[in-house]
Chain A
Amino acid sequence: MIRDVVLLGVEDALSETVGKAVLASVRMSASQTFGFKGNTYLRKKISDLNKTAKVLPVFLITDLDSPTGCASELIRDWLSDPPEPGLIFRVAVVEIESWIMAHRKALARFLAVSQDRVPRNPDQLRNAKEKLLTIASVSRRRDVRDDLLPARGSTAKVGPAYNSRLGEFVRTEWNPQSAAASSPSLKRALSALETFRDG
Chain B
Amino acid sequence: MMVNRLMVKNWRNFPRIDVPMKERQFLVGPNASGKSNLLDVFRFLRDIATTEGGGLQKAVKDRGGVSKLRCLAARRDPEIVIETHLSQSAEAEPEWRYSIGIKQEARGKRQTYLTHERVWQGEHQILDRPDADDKLDRDRLTQTYLEQINANQKFRDIAQFFQSVTYLHLVPQLLRFADSFQGTLENDPFGQGFLERIAKTTGRTQSSRLSKIEEALKIAVPQLQQLKFIRDDVTGRPHLQALYSHWRPQAGWQREDQFSDGTLRLIGLLWSLLEADSLLLLEEPELSLNAGIVAELAPLIHRMQRMRHRQVLVSTHSDALLTEAGIDGREVLVFSAAREGTEVKLASDFDEVRVLLANGFTVGEAVLPRTKPESAGRLGAIQ
Contacts and interface: CB of A to CB of B under 8 A. Distances in A.
A51 B366 CA distance: 14
A13 B376 contact: yes
B369 A164 contact: no
Nearest to A172: B381
A176 interface: no
A56 interface: yes
B86 to A, nearest CB: 34
A161 B381 contact: yes
6 contacts: A13-B377, A31-B352, A55-B355, A163-B377, A163-B380, A167-B377
Interface in B230-256: none
B375 interface: yes
B370 A32 contact: yes
Nearest to B370: A32
Main DSSP-derived SS at the B contact region: helix
B360 A164 contact: no
Interface of B: 350-353, 355-356, 359-361, 365-366, 369-370, 372, 375-381, 383
B378 A52 contact: no
Contacts of B351: 56
Contacts of B379: 164
Contacts of A175: none
Contact of B375 (A7, A143, A171): A171
A51 B380 contact: no
Contacts of B359: 48-49, 51-52
Contacts, number: 65
A17 B375 contact: yes
Contact of B380 (A20, A45, A161, A171): A161
A173 B383 CA distance: 17
Give the interface size class of chain A. 20 to 34
Closest 3 CB pairs of A and B: A164-B380, A167-B377, A48-B360
A14 B376 CA distance: 9
Contacts of A7: 352, 356
A165 B356 CA distance: 31
Contacts of A55: 355
A168 B365 contact: no
A89 to B, nearest CB: 16
A39 interface: no
A52 B381 contact: no
B376 A48 contact: no
A33 interface: yes
Contacts of B365: 34, 45
A51 B352 contact: no
A196 interface: no
Nearest to A143: B383
B377 A32 contact: no
Interface in A1-17: 7, 13-14, 16-17
B222 to A, nearest CB: 27
A165 B380 CA distance: 8
A162 B364 CA distance: 26
B355 A36 contact: no
A3 B95 CA distance: 46
B377 A17 contact: yes
B320 to A, nearest CB: 12
Contacts of B372: 33
Contacts of B375: 16-17, 20, 167, 171
Nearest to A7: B352
A114 B376 CA distance: 30
B337 to A, nearest CB: 15
Contacts of A161: 380-381
